[in-house]
């Protein structure tokens, strides 16, 4: 039976990547040892690391005035590292809280920066939860940065336009990086925990405009200092070489699959299929305003919540796993990152249609 894994993260990885890693585990590049047992300073590992960075640059068309960092920690690391690296204690910074993750980032920033302004937050509207229009955000003059989360993994809420703001824009792209084409030049900092569209957990990618590296890092611990890590090519300390290797394999896989343009088309098609199923079937409900619906994480409720566990166990019997919604939200959630094929979305919709017929 084919297993389709709808986990929000750590999430499904491309089978081709896992098979290659498996084949190379005991014998990387004919050396008779694994990539995990090679010095990160060796020419062969540095070649791997540089190739991964270049492939990510090519995939995302990252301009030359941006540094790419492969860092320790996942997404949450940067909830503290961003304020510590690019704002000083007396700075003003703007946060937009659209869901659970940006709320945590907002709370974390308050530990390090005196004026943390809530510029906008998700609100209930008759058409569902919605992000206020960017024109209505209460932005501060002279903010060191504006932080937002373009795709809220728990809530399934997304901002599909890049906000046009004066201060450097900082985006937590943990659950949407590489999911569709993006104009990196509109951002000051993009960061992402790796465990959804990139690779293993505990690893993260930072894309930072180089002029922001020259700011005020006296308070940040050295391993999380973006300037130091940029100067040291992310090898100030020993990086997670295994995660870097796997991420590099995912980037190569993405290139073979047609890059982010092809991913974007497929991701939108998968999401459309599932939203149509939810909207056309009174047994299911999604509570997000149509303009802010995520293409990656799609929460939905059953009309009979007492059947949640039956739904989950019958889905699992069909190979459709990890559909339980986040504990904050309840119900179901289908996360469909790049590695989820269209056939997985189709299998879920077929199951949901049958389930609703039986129980609706
Ligand atoms: N931001 C977002 C948008 C996330 O989805 C997550 C994890 N699901 C995080 C941050 C936290 O990442 P980590 O657990 O790797 O610290």
- Is the shortest distance between the CB of 200 and ligand 1 below 6 Å? no
Which of 101, 155, 270, 324 is the catalytic position? 101
Q: How many CB atoms lie within 10 A of CB 7?
A: 17
List, by residue range, all CATH 3.90.1150.10 domains of the chain.
258-359
- Is the shortest distance between the CB of 201 and ligand 1 below 6 Å? yes
List, by residue range, all CATH 3.40.640.10 domains of the chain.
15-256
pLDDT class of 315 with cuts at 50, 70, 90: very high
Verify whether residue 186 is a known catalytic residue: no
Task: Indicate the average pLDDT of the chain.
Answer: 97
Whether the predicted model's global pTM rises above the 0.90 cut = yes
**pLDDT of the residue at 216:** 63
What number is the ipTM of this complex?
Answer: 0.99
Residue-wise pLDDT tens digits, 8-66:
999 999 999 999 999 999 999 999 999 999 999 999 999 999 999 999 999 999 999 99
Atom 4 of ligand 1: nearest residue by CA position: 174
Verify whether residue 94 is a known catalytic residue: no
Query: What is the pLDDT averaged over residues 127-137?
Result: 97
192 CA distance to ligand 1 centroid (A)? 8
183 CA distance to ligand 1 centroid (A)? 22
User: Domain 258-359 belongs to what topology?
Assistant: 3.90.1150
The distance from CA 138 to its chain's CA centroid, rounded to whole angstroms, is: 26
Residue-wise pLDDT tens digits, 54-96:
999 999 999 999 999 999 999 999 999 999 999 999 999 999 9
Instruction: Give the separation between CA 6 and CA 298, rounded to whole angstroms.
Output: 10
Verify whether residue 20 is a known catalytic residue: no
Decide if pLDDT at 187 tops 80. yes
Q: Does domain 15-256 have CATH number 3.40.640.10?
A: yes
């Amino acid at each position: 039976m084919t297993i389709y894994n709808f986990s929000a993260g750590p999430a499904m990885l491309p089978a081709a990547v896992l098979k290659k890693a498996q084949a190379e585990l005991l014998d990387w590049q004919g050396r008779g040892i694994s990539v995990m047992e090679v010095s990160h300073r060796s020419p062969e590992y540095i070649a791997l690391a540089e190739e991964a960075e270049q492939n990510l640059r090519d995939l995302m068309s990252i301009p030359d005035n941006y540094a790419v960092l492969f860092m320790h920690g996942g997404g949450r690391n940067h909830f503290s590292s961003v304020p510590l690296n690019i704002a000083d204690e007396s700075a003003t910074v703007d946060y937009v809280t659209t869901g659970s993750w940006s709320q945590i980032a907002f709370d974390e920033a308050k530990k390090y920066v005196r004026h943390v302004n809530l510029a906008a937050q998700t609100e209930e509207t008759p058409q569902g939860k919605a992000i206020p229009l960017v024109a209505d955000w209460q932005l501060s003059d002279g903010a060191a940065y504006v932080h937002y989360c373009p795709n809220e993994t728990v809530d399934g809420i997304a901002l599909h336009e890049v906000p046009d703001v004066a201060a450097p824009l900082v985006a937590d792209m943990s659950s949407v990086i590489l999911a569709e084409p993006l104009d990196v030049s509109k951002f000051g900092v993009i960061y992402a925990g790796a465990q959804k569209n990139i690779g293993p957990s505990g690893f993260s990618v930072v894309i930072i405009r180089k002029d922001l590296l020259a700011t005020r890092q006296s308070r940040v611990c050295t391993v999380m200092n973006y300037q130091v890590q940029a100067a040291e090519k992310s090898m100030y300390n020993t990086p997670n070489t295994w995660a870097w290797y796997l991420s590099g394999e995912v980037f190569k896989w993405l290139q073979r699959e047609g890059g982010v343009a092809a991913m974007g088309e497929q991701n939108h098609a998968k999401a459309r299929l599932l939203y149509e199923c939810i909207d056309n079937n009174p047994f299911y409900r999604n509570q997000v305003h149509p303009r802010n619906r995520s293409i990656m994480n799609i929460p939905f409720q059953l009309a009979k919540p007492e059947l949640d566990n039956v739904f989950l166990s019958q889905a699992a019997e069909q190979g459709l796993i990890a559909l339980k919604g986040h504990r904050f939200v309840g119900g179901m959630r289908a996360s469909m990152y790049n590695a989820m094929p269209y056939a997985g979305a189709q299998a879920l919709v077929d199951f949901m249609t049958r389930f609703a017929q039986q129980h609706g």
